[in-house]
């Protein structure tokens, strides 16, 4: 079982972890996108995949295989 196998996203996560987050930069961060997707998934049972933009279900994205864990 694979969780969050999303090659395009990993570099962003590593970059974001390289320094303490004392304040949020302007605009939507990756974390915001993931949290937003989580909320939509919880309330509606599906959301837009943050990786490929296709439909993301609780079991994962049917297009790119990404899953929120
Ligand atoms: Zn996807």
- What are the tens digits of pLDDT across the range 25-45? 567 788 888 899 999 999 999
* Predicted TM-score of the model (pTM): 0.52
pLDDT tens, 5-26? 655 655 555 555 555 566 555 6
Domain locations along the chain: 29-64
Distance from the alpha carbon of residue 62 to the mean position of ligand 1, in angstroms: 7
Residue 51, exposed/middle/buried by CB under 10 A (0-12, 13-18, 19+)?
Answer: buried
**Residue 51 CA, ligand 1 centroid: distance in Å:** 5
Q: How many whole angstroms from 68 Cα to the centroid of ligand 1? A: 10
Cβ–Cβ under 8 Å, residues 41 and 48:
no
How many whole angstroms from 6 Cα to the centroid of ligand 1? 8
d(CA 62, CA 69): 15
Q: Are 65 and 52 in contact (CB under 8 A)?
A: no
Q: From the CA of 14, how far away is ligand 1's center (Å)?
A: 20
């Amino acid at each position: 079982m694979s969780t969050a196998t999303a090659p395009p996203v990993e570099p962003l996560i590593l970059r974001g972890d390289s320094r303490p987050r004392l304040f949020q930069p302007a605009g939507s961060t990756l974390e915001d996108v993931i949290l937003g997707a989580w909320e939509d998934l919880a309330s509606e049972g599906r959301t837009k995949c943050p990786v490929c933009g296709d439909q993301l279900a609780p079991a994962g994205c049917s297009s790119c295989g990404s899953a929120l864990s």
